[in-house]
């Protein structure tokens, strides 16, 4: 309307565009009046935010910027600082949280075949067991949980929790699984059950590892034949 006002009447353009003349005139007054007090305030805060962010080597996020602004005497809310930083593409750097590594393959570790090929449910109990290890953060430090689940019933048969990732952790979980399945063999028994390691059984969270359980539990551990499955969906 402002571009064509020399050619067409304002009243006609307002009627055709279904807008009010008073709204158009209010818009023109705002354009000639310059930035409002709120706009000027946001522009001043943006300049100060950029300065504080640059002084921190582009590390500070909105909480630290807010603290520095208030220390300098500014009265501003956390939401305003966060909104201005987001609108101007200013972002801090958050360090990644430490998470333990649950898969550390040995240099001389033998290659374990995939005996299951993702076919976990064979229609028979104790035909395929799935096992995995995950980590749990506690007030006393990291703990590691190893669980064994039957591929047919999807029931957790055995589990063990400790502050290490050594073979003993896996053996305890497998021995409990054999006890729960009422098929606990001796050390020298045969291996009637296939043990498959899948990276994400439904009972384990957060993202666990698949290699430790199957590699550390050898065929003579509790009567299982180890197999290593490929990574599953998250």
Q: Label residue 86 exposed, middle or buried (CB < 10 Å: 0-12, 13-18, 19+).
A: exposed
At 230 the pLDDT is 57
- In a domain? residue 107: no
At 115 the pLDDT is 74
Tell me, yes or no, whether 219 and 144 share the same domain: yes
Q: Label residue 160 exposed, middle or buried (CB < 10 Å: 0-12, 13-18, 19+).
A: buried
Tell me, yes or no, whether 83 and 135 share the same domain: no
The 3-state secondary structure of 23-88, one letter per residue: HHHHHHHHHHHCCCHHHHHHHHHHHHHHHHHHHCCCCCCHHHHHHHHHHCCCCCCHHHHHHHHHHC
Last residue of a domain, one of 26, 54, 87: 87
Tell me, yes or no, whether 82 and 135 share the same domain: no
Tell me, yes or no, whether 18 and 80 share the same domain: yes
At 216 the pLDDT is 36
From 19-28, 161-170, 173-182, the region with the lowest mean pLDDT: 173-182
At 135 the pLDDT is 86
At 200 the pLDDT is 37
From 15-24, 45-54, 94-103, 156-165, the region with the lowest mean pLDDT: 94-103
On average, the pLDDT of the chain sits at 76
pLDDT grade for 108, boundaries at 50, 70 and 90: low
Last residue of a domain, one of 38, 56, 87: 87
Tell me, yes or no, whether 132 and 222 share the same domain: yes
Last residue of a domain, one of 32, 64, 87: 87
CA dihedral 93, 98, 99, 100 (to 10 degrees): 150
Tell me the β-bridge partners of 136. 143
From 118-127, 137-146, 153-162, the region with the lowest mean pLDDT: 118-127
pLDDT greater at residue 8 or residue 95 = 8
How many domains, the chain? Answer: 2
Domain that includes residue 39, residue range: 10-87
Tell me, yes or no, whether 142 and 214 share the same domain: yes
- In a domain? residue 117: no
pLDDT grade for 175, boundaries at 50, 70 and 90: confident
Answer whether residue 80 shows pLDDT above 90.
Answer: yes
At 228 the pLDDT is 67
């Amino acid at each position: 309307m402002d571009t064509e006002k020399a050619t067409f009447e304002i009243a006609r353009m307002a009627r055709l565009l279904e807008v009010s003349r008073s709204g158009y005139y209010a818009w023109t007054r705002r354009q000639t009046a310059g930035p409002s007090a709120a706009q000027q305030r946001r522009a001043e805060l943006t300049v100060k935010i950029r300065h504080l962010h640059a002084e921190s080597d582009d590390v500070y996020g909105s909480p630290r910027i807010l603290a520095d602004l208030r220390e300098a005497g500014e009265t501003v809310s956390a939401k305003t600082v966060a909104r201005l930083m987001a609108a101007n593409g200013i972002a801090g750097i958050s360090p990644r949280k430490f998470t333990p590594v649950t898969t550390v393959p040995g240099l001389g570790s033998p290659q374990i075949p995939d005996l299951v090929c993702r076919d976990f449910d064979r229609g028979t109990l104790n035909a395929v067991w799935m096992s995995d290890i995950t980590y749990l953060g506690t007030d006393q430090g990291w703990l590691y949980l190893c669980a064994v689940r039957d591929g047919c019933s999807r029931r957790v048969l055995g589990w063990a929790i400790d502050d290490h990732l050594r073979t003993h952790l896996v053996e305890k979980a497998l021995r409990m699984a054999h006890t729960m399945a009422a098929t606990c063999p001796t050390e020298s028994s045969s291996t009637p059950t296939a043990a498959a390691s899948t990276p994400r059984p439904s009972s384990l969270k957060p993202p666990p590892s698949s290699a430790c359980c199957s590699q550390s539990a050898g065929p003579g551990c509790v009567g299982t034949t180890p197999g290593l499955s490929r990574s599953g969906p998250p």
